[in-house]
Amino acid sequence: MRAHNFGAGPCTLPTDVLAEARDEMLDFAGTGMSVVELSHRSAEYEAVHQETLRLTRSVSGVPDDFAVLFVQGGATLQFSMIPMNLLGGDRPGGYVVSGAWGEKALANARPHGRVYAAWDGAADGYRGMPDPGEIAVEDGSRYLHITTNETIGGIRMVEFPDTDVPLVADMSSEYLARPVEWDRYDLVYGGVQKNLAPSGMAVVFVRRSVLTESAPDLGDYLRYGFHAESDSLGNTPPMFPIYIMGKVLSRIEAEGGVAALERRSALKADALYHAIDESDGFYRNPVDRRDRSHMNVVFRLPTPELEAAFVAEATKAGLIGLKGHRSVGGLRASLYAALSQESVGVLVEFMTAFRRAATV
C-alpha cells in the first residue's frame, strides 16, 4: 500500500511514474540496461535529456531568452552560484528575508559580494510576507532575491516587490505550481525534489543576457555559461532525476500544466485550512491569512504532547511526514504536486477524529 506522504521533501511522486520506471529499470528502450547505466553521451540518454529540457520549457512557459539549466547541488548551491555569477561588479544584491530559506540565501551570498537584507521578518517570527512598500531596495542593486514560498514557515508571496531591479526567485517548494511573470526576473531556481522529481539537482532558468554580461573568474561548474553552452551536458548530468522529471512533467502537462496544478494546489490547501479554521481553535495556523502557503500547511495543537501523539497516530494510519521542521516544531503537511486530493481528505478525516477523541 502506498503511504500518504506529506513530507516536506523529497516529495511523493506519481505512482504510475514509479511503476513505469520500475518496468524500464532492467531494459530501457531495448538497450538491455537501465537508464542510469547508459552513457550520458548515448543517443538513448540524449533523447531523454532533450525531452526533459523541452518539457521544462513548455510546462514553465519560459521565454526563449532564458536558458534552462540542470545543475547538481540543489537549491543550496544556487545560494552561492547566484552571487558568484551575478555580483561580478560592485553592485549589491538585495534579499527579502522571509524565513529560514531566505536567511540561508543571504548568509551564503555574503562571502561572494556585497549583499543586504531589503526586508527581514525574523523579529516577527516569519509569520507573513512583506507588503511591497516595506521592501527597501538600495539604488543600483544588481538584483532583489525573494523566496516565493517559505517551506518551513508555511508562507507564500502573494504581492510581489514593487521595484525596477530584476528579481531572482527561489521557488523550490512551489516549483511550476504557479505562473511566473518572466519579464520581472533575471533568474528563477529551485531544487526539484519538492514538487517534480527525486533529489539531485536544481532547475535554473536564467536570462541569457546575464550569461554574457557577467564574465566572472570561476571554475567551469560554477559558471552558468558552462551549463548553458552544453545543454547541461558539460559533465555527467544527474541522469536519474532528469529521467524521472521528464515523466512527471509529461503528466503535469497532460493534466493542464501550471494553471491546473495551481488550481489543484489551492483546492488541497483550502480543504486543510478549512479543517483547521473550523476546529474551534484545537488546530491553529499561525500565519497571516493572506500569506498562507498552498504547498506547506503548518499547524499547532494545544500542547506539545498532543502534537507528538498526533504524529504517532497519524504515522500508524499511513499518514507520513507530518512533523514540523525541527527549528519551529508543530506540524506541517506538505501538499506537493503528486499528493492527491484524496490523501488530503484522509488527513482531514483523521484530524476530525483525533480532535474528537482528544476533547471528550
Q: Which of 101, 247, 268, 323 is catalytic?
A: 101
Give the number of other Cβ atoms within 10 Å of residue 246's Cβ. 21
Is the CB of residue 180 less than 8 Å from the CB of residue 203? no
Cell representation of residue 134: 516595506
Q: Which residue among 170, 186, 291, 307 contacts ligand PLP (CB under 6 A)?
A: 170
Task: Return d(Cα 164, Cα 139) in angstroms, integer.
Answer: 10
Minimum distance between the CB of residue 115 and ligand PLP, rounded to whole angstroms? Answer: 17
Residue 60 vs 173, nearer CB to ligand PLP = 173
Q: Which of 170, 247, 268, 291 is catalytic?
A: 170
Is the CB of residue 132 less than 8 Å from the CB of residue 162? yes
Give the number of other Cβ atoms within 10 Å of residue 235's Cβ. 12
Q: Which residue among 5, 52, 172, 265 contacts ligand PLP (CB under 6 A)?
A: 172
Q: Per CB under 6 A, does 38 bind ligand PLP?
A: no
From residue 360, alpha-carbon distances to 255, 261, 305 in Å are 43, 39, 16
Report helix, strand or coil for 118.
Answer: strand
Residue 74 vs 225, nearer CB to ligand PLP = 74
Ranked by CB distance to ligand PLP, the top (closest) residue is 74
Q: Per CB under 6 A, does 76 bind ligand PLP?
A: yes
Residue 321 vs 354, nearer CB to ligand PLP = 321
User: Applying CB under 6 A, which part among 74-82, 237-245, 272-280, 297-305 lies near ligand PLP?
Assistant: 74-82
Minimum distance between the CB of residue 309 and ligand PLP, rounded to whole angstroms? Answer: 27
Q: Per CB under 6 A, does 246 bind ligand PLP?
A: no
**138: amino acid identity, one letter:** E
Transcribe 253-297 into DSSP letters: HHTTHHHHHHHHHHHHHHHHHHHHHTSTTSSB--S-GGGB-SSEE
Report helix, strand or coil for 107.
Answer: helix
**125: amino acid identity, one letter:** G
Q: Per CB under 6 A, does 72 bind ligand PLP?
A: no
Residue 101 vs 243, nearer CB to ligand PLP = 101
Cell representation of residue 329: 516544531
Q: Per CB under 6 A, does 98 bind ligand PLP?
A: no
Task: Count the site residues for ligand PLP by CB under 6 A.
Answer: 12
Is the CB of residue 153 less than 8 Å from the CB of residue 299? no
**270: amino acid identity, one letter:** D
Q: Which residue among 98, 151, 232, 265 contacts ligand PLP (CB under 6 A)?
A: 151
Minimum distance between the CB of residue 319 and ligand PLP, rounded to whole angstroms? Answer: 21
Q: Per CB under 6 A, does 74 bind ligand PLP?
A: yes
- Give per-residue burial for 180-212: e unless 16+ CB within 10 Å, then b: beeebbbbbbbbbbbbbbbebbbbbbbbeebbe
Task: Return d(Cα 359, Cα 38) in angstroms, integer.
Answer: 57
Q: Per CB under 6 A, does 265 bind ligand PLP?
A: no
Chain centroid offset of residue 268 CA: 17
Minimum distance between the CB of residue 127 and ligand PLP, rounded to whole angstroms? Answer: 17
Residue 292 vs 355, nearer CB to ligand PLP = 292
From residue 206, alpha-carbon distances to 86, 169, 225, 279 in Å are 11, 11, 10, 44
Task: Return d(Cα 167, Cα 173) in angstroms, integer.
Answer: 18
User: Applying CB under 6 A, which part among 16-24, 71-79, 240-248, 260-268 lies near ligand PLP?
Assistant: 71-79
Minimum distance between the CB of residue 191 and ligand PLP, rounded to whole angstroms? Answer: 3
Q: Which residue among 7, 9, 92, 93 contacts ligand PLP (CB under 6 A)?
A: 9
Q: Which residue among 191, 225, 241, 321 contacts ligand PLP (CB under 6 A)?
A: 191
In the annotation, is 170 catalytic?
Answer: yes
User: Applying CB under 6 A, which part among 68-76, 106-114, 120-128, 310-318 lies near ligand PLP?
Assistant: 68-76
Q: Which residues bind ligand PLP (CB under 6 A)?
A: 9, 74-76, 101, 147, 151, 170, 172-173, 191, 194
Q: What residues are annotated to the active site? A: 101, 170, 194
